[in-house]
Amino acid sequence: MADQNEQSPMQNPEKDPDEWVTKDEPMTGPQRSYLQTLCREGQEEFNENWTKAEASKKIDELQTKTGRGKSS
């Protein structure tokens, strides 16, 4: 039986992208694809050189702007 004090991965608080170990790596394929869609819908320039952390922050910003994704 699992210890009831252990948190499941879904209960962990989100970590700030600036604190990610991989923050300076290039954005992932899924980030790139979703950002291209969000940039098109939000009428913003897509930057091929965003890092994982920058892409994550831009996704959050554009989700708010376009009404996609997470609700506030």
pLDDT in the model for residue 5: 52
pLDDT digits (tens, 9 = 90+) for 9-56: 555 568 898 888 888 999 999 999 999 999 999 999 999 999 999 999
Measure the CA–CA gap between 30 and 48, rounded to whole angstroms. Answer: 13
pLDDT reading at 6 higher than 60: no
Residue with tokens 């209960």: 11
Measure the CA–CA gap between 6 and 2, rounded to whole angstroms. Answer: 8
pLDDT digits (tens, 9 = 90+) for 56-69: 999 999 999 999 87
